[in-house]
Amino acid sequence: MALIVQKYGGTSVGSPDRIKNVARRVASWRAKGHQVVVVVSAMSGETNRLIALAKEMQANPDSRELDVIASTGEQVTIGLLSMALMGIGVKARSYTGGQVRVLTDSAFTKARIVSIDEANIKRDLDKGFVAVVAGFQGVDEQGNITTLGRGGSDTSAVAIAAALKADECQIYTDVDGVYTTDPRIVPEARRLESITFEEMMEMASLGSKVLQIRSVEFAGKYKVKLRVLSSLEELGKEGPGTLITVEEDIMMEQPTISGIAFNRDEAKLTVLGVPDRPGIAYQILGPVAEANIDVDMIIQNVGHDGSTDFSFTVPRSEFAKATAILEQVKGHVGARQVTGDNKIAKVSVVGVGMRSHVGIASKMFRTLAEEGINIQMISTSEIKISVVIDEKYLELAVRVLHKAFDLDQVPA
C-alpha cells in the first residue's frame, strides 16, 4: 500500500463528465489498496472568470477581497468531486485550505506556504476516506483566506505530499508529460521520460507553465517524487508520464539540451546617454526596486565619450509604471532619453548537458541569424542561455531551435 497525492488541473476537472472520469481514476487507485489524497484546481476558465468579475467592481482589486473571490473556484470542485466519488461508492471528504490548515504568510494573491497540519487528512485516510483538498488556497495566522499565485494548485499538491511523506505526487494535466517545448507551439515536441529538478526549475521560471515554479522548488527541497501525467487518457492505458528527479538518477547520457522555454511576459526599457560613472546602475535600478518591480535581464554597454546606454527587462504588466519611474530618473542622472518596447519575447535553451559541452551558445546564435532574427539581449547561467527577440519571431525561433538541437529526435 502506498500513499499517493494526485493533483488534477483545470482542464481535467473542466466539466461534470471530466470530474466523473477523475473519480473513476481515483477509485481505481483506491481499489489497488492505495491511500489517496486528491488536490484539485478550479474548473477551467473559472479563476479567470472570478478575477474578471472582481475587476468589474474595482479596476485594481483589493488583494484580500480578490483572494476571497478567486479561491471559490476550487471550493466548488472539491464538493463536486467528493460527490462524484460517493456516487461510485468511494468514501470521500472535501477540505478547503483553511480546513486542512494550509498556513501561509499574508501576501495576498502570491502567498507562500509556511506549514501544513496533516493530522485531519491522516485521520480520514486511516478510516478509508479519500481526502479531496482545494488547491491554490490557504489561510494566514489571522484566518484570512490567501491564494498562492496562478497555477498554485501544483504547489499545494507538492506541499501536501511533503507534509504527508507521500510515496509519489502525481500531477495530472492535459498533456501526457513534460515536453521538449510547449507542444501547442511545436507539434514535433517530444515527451521527456525524465528531467532533473534543476532543469525543470529553469524551464518553469523561463516560461514553461506546465508546473508552477514553486512546486518544483518544494519537490526538490523535500525530495518529493514528482510525476506529470495525462488525465485525458483512457483509464488503464495511461503512459508513464515524466518523472522529475535528481541528476544522479538519470542513468543515460544526457542530451546537451533538454528543452526550450519561452515567454511573452516581459518588456524592455532602455536609458540612453547615461553618464558613465560609478553608482549609475544603482541610481537607475534603485527606484525601480523600491517600487517593487522585479528586474530580470540587465545590460550595460561599453561607455564611449563619457556616456553609456543601459537596458533591462521588467514584467510586461509593470511596463507603464517602470517607464514613468525612468522618466523621473532621467532628469536626476542627466540621461538623454528613455525608450521602451513591450513587444519582446524571451527564448531559452535549457540543459544540464551544457556544463560539459561547448558551442551551444554559438549554435543558438547561428540558428537565429540564419532566419534573420535579431538578438536584442543575452543572458546565461550554467544550464541555460536566454535571448530577447522581437515578439513576432517567437514561434519561428522556438521551431528552428527545436530542430537545430535535434529535440524532435529520440536521443541515441
Task: Tell me which residues touch ligand ASP (CB under 6 A).
Answer: 9-10, 41-42, 47, 73, 135-136, 150-154
Q: Is 279 in a helix, a strand, or coil?
A: coil
Q: Is 55 annotated as a binding residue?
A: no
Q: Is 220 in the site for Mg ion (CB under 5 A)?
A: no
Query: What does 42 interact with, of Mg ion, ligand ADP, ligand ASP, none (CB < 5 to 8 A by kind)?
Result: ligand ASP
Query: What does 184 interact with, of ligand ASP, ligand ADP, Mg ion, none (CB < 5 to 8 A by kind)?
Result: ligand ADP
Contacts of 356 (CB under 8 A, 6+ apart): none
Q: Pattern of binders to Mg ion over 230-259, x per CB under 5 A?
A: ------------------------------
Query: What does 210 interact with, of Mg ion, ligand ADP, ligand ASP, none (CB < 5 to 8 A by kind)?
Result: ligand ADP
Length of the chain: 412
Which residue number has the CB closest to ligand ADP? 9
Q: Which residue has the cell 470521500?
A: 92
Q: Is 405 in the site for ligand ADP (CB under 6 A)?
A: no
Q: Is 379 in a helix, a strand, or coil?
A: strand
Q: Is 14 in the site for ligand ADP (CB under 6 A)?
A: no
H, E, C per residue of 86-145: HHCCCCEEEECHHHHCEEECCCCCCCCEEEECCHHHHHHHHCCCEEEEECCEEECCCCCE
Contacts of 411 (CB under 8 A, 6+ apart): 252, 253, 255
Q: Pattern of binders to ligand ADP over 224-263, x per CB under 6 A?
A: -----------------------------------x----
Subset of 162-181 contacting ligand ADP (CB under 6 A): 173-175, 178-179, 181
Contacts of 412 (CB under 8 A, 6+ apart): none
Confirm if 312 and 295 have CB atoms less than 8 A apart.
yes
Q: Is 9 annotated as a binding residue?
A: yes
Q: Is 7 annotated as a binding residue?
A: yes
**Residue 263 or 308 with smaller CB distance to ligand ASP:** 263
What is each CA distance from 5 to 26, 147, 171, 241, in whole angstroms?
10, 20, 9, 15
**What CA–CA distance (Å, rounded) separates 226 from 232?**
19
Q: Which residues are annotated as a binding site for ATP?
A: 7-10, 173-174, 179, 184, 209-210
Residues that bind Mg ion (CB under 5 A): 9, 151
Q: Which residues are annotated as a binding site?
A: 7-10, 47, 74, 173-174, 179, 184, 209-210
Q: Which residues are annotated as a binding site for substrate?
A: 47, 74
